[in-house]
Amino acid sequence: MNLKKTLVAATTLLLPFTMHAADLENGEKLSRSCALCHGKYMQGVAGDLYPRLAGLPSGYIENELHRLKDGRREAHLPMLITSMVDTLSENDMSDISSYLEHMPVPAAHRRAIPNSKGNASAGKNIYVNEECDSCHRKDGSGKAKKGIPPLKGQHTDYLFKQMKDFKELARIHDDEDEKEDSSFVNMNDMMLRDLVAYFSTMDD
């Protein structure tokens, strides 16, 4: 049995009884366009544009797809062309999200997360003092049931860029109604580098 069939069969057992295998097959089919940039196994690629998608919480993925579709999150041109996110239905976004959440990254295709330029020890202090662990957990694993993504195992350049976007209010960090998110206001680039340096030490 190939990876696709194995994944569909396995995730069917993990999902609510109202979720049919056909929905997961639709998710697999629709996610093929994502693989053009994010990699065959959705492992992500080096750089700040194409993060790892495999294993991210379905609630988080679905929420971000909605934000991309209605313009609350900026999408760069290649994604707009290949994903056709504006054509996705509610069911499509749910199917893609559920499929990706349970998609494993084979060990042979896991990309080592490089050590980022920065002070990991200082980053750990920031992580604790700013109470990042209250949402993303002490080990950076996130909270899947609440749609909070993991930080460990994600590409550090991507994480750095997202924190810069949060700081500049170019992307919503947490609460949709919180227009002035102050989470990163007082952090300079070095502090953000220290944070991602710490993220890169987290065991995935």
pLDDT digit string, tens, across residues 54-108: 999 999 999 999 988 888 887 776 666 666 788 899 999 999 999 999 998 777 6
CA dihedral for 154, 156, 158, 161, sign (positive or negative):
positive
Q: Any idea what DSSP says for residue 40? A: T
**pLDDT band at 165; cut points 50, 70, 90:** very high
Distance CA 54, CA 67 (A): 19
Residue 143 three-state SS: strand
Rounded mean pLDDT of 153-167? 93
- Is the fold of 3-109 the same as that of 120-199? yes
CATH for 3-109 is 1.10.760.10
The secondary element (H helix, E strand) that includes residue 190 is: helix 189-199
What's the pLDDT at 25? 92
3-state class of 6 per DSSP?
Answer: helix
Residue 132 assigned to a binding site: yes
pLDDT number for residue 92: 94
Q: Give the global pTM.
A: 0.82
Is 37 part of any known ligand binding site? Answer: yes
Query: Is 34 within any annotated ligand binding site?
Result: yes
Is the Cβ–Cβ distance between 53 and 105 less than 8 Å? no
CATH topology classification for 120-199 = Cytochrome Bc1 Complex; Chain D, domain 2 (1.10.760)
Give the pLDDT score at 20: 42
Domain residue extents for the chain: 3-109, 120-199
Annotation-wise, does 173 bind a ligand?
Answer: no
- Cα angle 139, 142, 148 (rounded to 5 degrees) comes to 160
pLDDT per position as a tens digit, 5-56 = 555 555 544 544 444 444 899 999 999 989 989 999 999 988 899 999 999 9
